[in-house]
Structure 1
Amino acid sequence: MQVQKMREEYSKLNRMEMSIWECCELLNEVVDDSDPDLDEPQIQHLLQSAEAVRKDYPNEDWLHLTALIHDLGKVLLLPKFGGLPQWAVVGDTFPLGCAFDEANIHHKYFKENPDYNNPSYNTKNGIYWDGCGLDNVTISWGHDDYMYLVAKENGTTLPSAGLFIIRYHSLYPLHTEEAYMQFLNDEDKENLKWLRIFNKYDLYSKSKVAVDVEKVKPYYLSLIEKYFPAKLKW
């Protein structure tokens, strides 16, 4: 499967070494065509999300950092990371190996996918089973999964809810439409609560008031030091 090839290729983490903050700055070179706020540097969106979470959940520092880094996988759009096309990096994600739920955006176009008529894949559960856990479900490739791989393989100490948010924040059919809920195990269900909290800040925290980057930078650098190594392989 193409997704498995992408995961295998990018799991090598052989593109470059840099810190989390360096990647935040690098993200300013990225233009996400699916983002309505194209006039805002990407780092502003990250910091606006993080600062909004920090204000409402002051004791959950892992969630502040998760908000800051959740979109760093969009560096896949840059030439040094393979220059992947927009459709392969941003936008909603969806499970493969089971029927395409009608909750998926532009559902009618899934009829063009060969899996649509494959009897192994076109039932509700497909190749999976109730309660199998999202970790066992193949999700379409994108910036979510790449950043999850980077964080996990570099030994982050973020709690599982943080990794869950990073990995599935673009899986809108699940966390906004409750599609594919049958695959969740108990840990997924707990983590989904945090993803839904986070989602409010991801979509609606963008404001016209720019965050003073230099003012908040020391705080986020301290969180990066707490939860990540100084340099990461990407």
Structure 2
Amino acid sequence: MRLLSNPVHIIDPSELLRPEPAFAKKNVKLFRDYNFNSDDPIQERVRQTYLEMHTNQTVSFVKGKHEKWCKFDTFKATMKEALTKLNELVDTSDPDVDIPNIVHAFQTAERIRNDFPKDDWFHLTGLIHDAGKVMAFYDEPQWCVVGDTFVVGAQWSPSIVYRETSFQNNPDGKNPMFNTKYGIYKPNCGLDNLLMSWGHDEYLYRVLKHNKTRLPEQALKMIRFHSFYPWHTGDDYGHLMTETDQTETKKWVLTFNQYDLYTKSTEIPDIESLWPYYESLIDKYIPGTLEW
């Protein structure tokens, strides 16, 4: 296994584009703009990232990433070491602030801590939710690390970002096994039985399971599905969900997402003073050196 290596700077287009009017404190149009202007470098990067993602994220591709990353032999690091690496990752697409990802992690965690003071597991979930982006430091292109996720192996849902223009060259669209309403799945098979596009959500979920985290199940659901916007915000894929998915799981994911999306500001937490508290939570729920 390798140790953490040289930094790679990536853009997270999902932070720019994801709409969630139910939680926004101001008009969502002020946060994100789906219109495309080729003269706007941010909009061009966002469009290109989703184009590559939607062209290349196939059933075969996703299975290949599971095979590669779920051996958990890429590197070893504590959760704090992995999170500290995110201090070198700046989201250059962010229209509001230009801060390292680690600052966003602490902003999210501290707002959750303020609103749910007794739920320390929830505080830690907010802190680590983007830790899977560490894949970007190990030769993964950004389109399979960041951004909104979607189901592969079935018809692409209408609320996916750039749905009408970005999937034309995805070979799964020409495979009759994969381009019907249910595709390879059974009706109401449930979230846990869906094959999601590969990204930092699924990766961190699997890292935590592999390393036998003590975080509760609702925390793992939040981490695994917080970028699955076509489901939890677009209300797509209901025909593949169980009743629990549509009620309890969606409730937890939506509760988390208001803190993920709308806590970023120019007010920077005093990270050094906060580390002892969060290190105690890491020791409680995800102790020791982890296999990534």
Q: Is the 8 A contact 2:91 2:100 kept in 1?
A: no
Is 1:146 matched up with 2:146?
no
1:1-234 correspondence to structure 2 within 5 Å: 1-36=60-95, 39-78=98-137, 81=138, 83-108=139-164, 109-189=166-246, 190-234=248-292
Q: Is the 8 A contact 1:33 1:86 kept in 2?
A: no
Deviates more, 1:119-128 or 1:139-148: 119-128
TM-score under structure 2 normalisation?
Answer: 0.76
CA-to-aligned-CA distance 1:51-70 (integer Å, 9 cap, x gap):
01111111221111111001
d(CA) in 1 for partners of 2:178, 2:91: 31
Deviates more, 1:104-113 or 1:185-194: 185-194
Letter in 1 for 2:262: Y
Q: Is the 8 A contact 1:34 1:91 kept in 2?
A: no
Deviant stretches of 4+, over 3 Å: 31-38
d(CA) in 1 for partners of 2:149, 2:86: 21
Deviates more, 1:176-185 or 1:195-204: 176-185
d(CA) in 1 for partners of 2:219, 2:81: 20
Q: Is the 8 A contact 2:91 2:98 kept in 1?
A: no
d(CA) in 1 for partners of 2:266, 2:88: 20
Aligned length: 231
Secondary structure at 2:168 match in 1 = helix
d(CA) in 2 for partners of 1:104, 1:46: 25
CA deviation after TM superposition for structure 1 residue 44, in Å: 0.5
d(CA) in 2 for partners of 1:129, 1:215: 50
Deviates more, 1:110-119 or 1:126-135: 110-119
Q: Provide closer, same or farther for how the CA distance between residues 59 and 184 of structure 1 changes in structure 2, counting only shifts above 3 A.
A: farther
d(CA) in 1 for partners of 2:225, 2:67: 19
d(CA) in 2 for partners of 1:181, 1:67: 26
d(CA) in 2 for partners of 1:160, 1:29: 30
Unaligned runs of 5+ in 1: none
d(CA) in 2 for partners of 1:133, 1:35: 33
d(CA) in 2 for partners of 1:35, 1:126: 35
Partner residue in 1 for 2:9: none
CA-to-aligned-CA distance 1:200-234 (integer Å, 9 cap, x gap):
11010012111001221111111111111211111
CA-to-aligned-CA distance 1:106-143 (integer Å, 9 cap, x gap):
10122321222322222211111222111111100111
CA-to-aligned-CA distance 1:28-64 (integer Å, 9 cap, x gap):
1224455445620111100000001111111221111
Q: Is the 8 A contact 1:27 1:43 kept in 2?
A: yes
d(CA) in 1 for partners of 2:291, 2:97: 28
Q: Provide closer, same or farther for how the CA distance between residues 77 and 35 of structure 1 changes in structure 2, counting only shifts above 3 A.
A: farther
TM-score under structure 1 normalisation?
Answer: 0.93
Percent of matched pairs sharing the same residue: 48
Secondary structure at 1:111 match in 2 = coil
